[in-house]
Chains A and B, each alone.
Chain A
């Protein structure tokens, strides 16, 4: 009986020591959780989550100040990944933050643009090129489709164009086979 208790005590102490040591030894700098969350977020930087960009939202989730279902561009899949990372149940997207939309890019009607630079100031990823009083153009490859440039434009010359499926972007679909109902 005594031996058993002794063994348990010694074991507990040993394990405790190892754990304590590794906590000191492998301490990670910075906030790795926020980094990991940020890596999952789509980086659209649209602010629909209620934070000024993906990174602040990631930090808020890491601190437990925000829920995981506030990012519409990330969609259901993003929520699932976050839930997996954080070990919580996935939940449906919070409608208050908007609904997922097909991915789009902004398009400036160059006939109407007055070169006011307001959209440049709004774009979170500097995807608009142009100088004051010059016509502005959107660099489609860099535009995240956040729509933040649409509202500031005083002449409403920016439209969001959904990305159409073409050959280079075509994907094989999930096979629609009659798997005689495979569970």
Chain B
């Protein structure tokens, strides 16, 4: 085996472990603000993902150990779980995770080969197939009279009989849903924003959740596990597109702050759009990728049929990655960037 004979200490497992660690502030904030239901969802998704991964590896004739310990399946599971409503029924979580691991990851060739972000494929399939169940968000504890304990949450998720009243008491529309419904009722943004679900500049509670994801994301960036290009461009895309619309008609379009701190944007910007496998690889490509995803998110939120657009935006950009990469090849040492001529 020829050189080099030494390696940096990094490994795929280490990268993935850091991603999981960076998600922890977000998870903690989630529990603090919305109750412990998310823990059940996370656990269920993790178990399903690992089982699916092991089964697929066996079916494809791969050794299970190295791939199970690379933790990539758990990352997929967590990202999906954090995108789902915390009180989503168990079969929703299992279906989404299975779809993500089996179809989006392994049928495309396994680790490193998938074109689409598996978690987002799982999410997209769920929201297209089960739009109603995908709205069972638990509301921020600050706004609901009662809250569910861990055991009660588990009962709800696994379809046990929770009193209908309790369930209604803890679930609420997300701010994005509220905005959407309000606009359909011909209310202006300002009128909608007076509803209790809206907080300082995002959704009540949700804005703090977003801040926690932002914190984790900055940690990943500080560790150089993700590059700055994708998150920055993604947030810039959202900010500019939302700001542009808001500037022209503040009555019909939400403020850019609101869009930035709506759920899923920070998660998308720092954890999902930065997925290396399905994202662009060149520095300029990453900027385009992130910006495009941000832009599409606002377009889908504003004119599309679903309240949130992060998943679809990222999937659409995944699709254009080969093209982006091909046209954004960086200038190689000693070349002018295009052909073989020397730099000027």
Q: A183, B63: Cβ atoms under 8 Å?
A: no
Interface of A (DSSP majority class): loop
0/1 string, B52-90, CB within 8 A of A gives 1: 000000001111001100000000000000000000000
List of A residues within 8 angstroms of B62 by Cβ:
180-181
Q: A177, B1: Cβ atoms under 8 Å?
A: yes
List of A residues within 8 angstroms of B61 by Cβ:
181
For the complex, give the distance between the alpha carbons of A105 and B109 in Å: 45
B110 CB within 8 Å of chain A: yes
For the complex, give the distance between the alpha carbons of A183 and B60 in Å: 10
Q: Looking across the interface, which residue of chain A has its beta carbon closest to that of B111?
A: A182
Nearest Cβ on chain B to A181's Cβ, whole angstroms: 6
B144 CB within 8 Å of chain A: no
Nearest Cβ on chain B to A170's Cβ, whole angstroms: 13
List of A residues within 8 angstroms of B113 by Cβ:
183
List of B residues within 8 angstroms of A183 by Cβ:
60, 109-110, 113
Q: Looking across the interface, which residue of chain A has its beta carbon closest to that of B62?
A: A181
For the complex, give the distance between the alpha carbons of A53 and B144 in Å: 88
List of B residues within 8 angstroms of A177 by Cβ:
1
Q: A180, B66: Cβ atoms under 8 Å?
A: yes
Q: Which of B60, B63, B109 contacts A180 (CB 8 A)?
A: B63
Q: B109, A181: Cβ atoms under 8 Å?
A: no
Q: Looking across the interface, which residue of chain B has its beta carbon closest to that of A183?
A: B109
List of A residues within 8 angstroms of B1 by Cβ:
177
Nearest Cβ on chain A to B93's Cβ, whole angstroms: 29
For the complex, give the distance between the alpha carbons of A177 and B67 in Å: 17
Q: Looking across the interface, which residue of chain B has its beta carbon closest to that of A176?
A: B1
For the complex, give the distance between the alpha carbons of A181 and B109 in Å: 12
Q: Looking across the interface, which residue of chain B has its beta carbon closest to that of A180?
A: B66
For the complex, give the distance between the alpha carbons of A177 and B62 in Å: 16
List of A residues within 8 angstroms of B60 by Cβ:
183
Q: Looking across the interface, which residue of chain B has its beta carbon closest to that of A172?
A: B2
0/1 string, A139-183, CB within 8 A of B gives 1: 000000000000000000000000000000000000001001101
List of B residues within 8 angstroms of A180 by Cβ:
62-63, 66-67
Q: Looking across the interface, which residue of chain B has its beta carbon closest to that of A177?
A: B1
For the complex, give the distance between the alpha carbons of A177 and B63 in Å: 16
For the complex, give the distance between the alpha carbons of A183 and B63 in Å: 12
Tell me the B241-296 residues at the A interface (CB within 8 Å): none
Q: Looking across the interface, which residue of chain A has its beta carbon closest to that of B70?
A: A180
For the complex, give the distance between the alpha carbons of A181 and B1 in Å: 17
List of A residues within 8 angstroms of B67 by Cβ:
180
Question: Considering the complex of A and B, which 9 residue pairs feature the smallest CB-CB distances, nearest first?
Answer: A180-B66, A181-B62, A183-B109, A180-B63, A183-B110, A181-B63, A183-B113, A177-B1, A181-B61
- Listed in ascending order, the chain B residues whose CB lies under 8 Å from chain A are 1, 60-63, 66-67, 109-110, 113
List 9 A–B pairs whose Cβ atoms lie within 8 Å, in order of A's numbering: A177-B1, A180-B62, A180-B66, A180-B67, A181-B62, A181-B63, A183-B60, A183-B110, A183-B113
